[in-house]
Amino acid sequence: MKSRYSILLGVGTVIGLFFLVTMINSNNANDLTYIFTGILLVGGYITTYTSNIKKSRVALIAGIGVSILLILYQLFVDKLYGSGLLNLIAFLIIPGFVMLIGGFIAKITKNEFKHLLEDLDISKS
């Protein structure tokens, strides 16, 4: 899959799961934070695992896309925190780095899976 489609798939997964979780459970802010961190990790994993170049920077680009959408959501829909400069910087940086960690996990998984398949290849013996 091309990298741009992987980025769109990762961003769509994160945004879709984010809105699904906030619609189902919006009472406890701590639970939402933990779940959203997991959603970002999964989004970064999906983005890097399905890209054709298998670089973690693809997940970082997807994280920046998610950050921009979350900033727009924060400014226009959810006016709980206000739009201070510190909040905007936190919303821009944190999702990108969390998705980068998920992308790094996907890169390691893909390499280990490739080596495992090479070791298990019966046709070599």
Cβ atoms of residues 72 and 112 within 8 Å = no
Q: Give 107 or 26, the one with higher predicted confidence.
A: 107
Maximum Cα interatomic distance, the chain, rounded to a whole number of Å: 64
Q: In the prediction, which pLDDT does 125 show?
A: 54
Q: In the prediction, which pLDDT does 13 show?
A: 92
The C-alpha atoms of residue 81 and residue 108 are separated, in whole angstroms, by 37
- Buried/exposed 91-123: b ≥16 CB within 10 Å, e otherwise: beebbbebbbbbbbbbbeeeeeeeeeeeeeeee
pTM, two decimal places: 0.83
Q: In the prediction, which pLDDT does 39 show?
A: 92
Q: In the prediction, which pLDDT does 81 show?
A: 61
Mean pLDDT estimate for the chain: 83
35-89 pLDDT, tens digit each: 888 999 999 999 999 988 878 888 888 989 998 888 887 777 766 666 677 777 7
Q: How many CB atoms lie within 10 A of CB 12?
A: 15
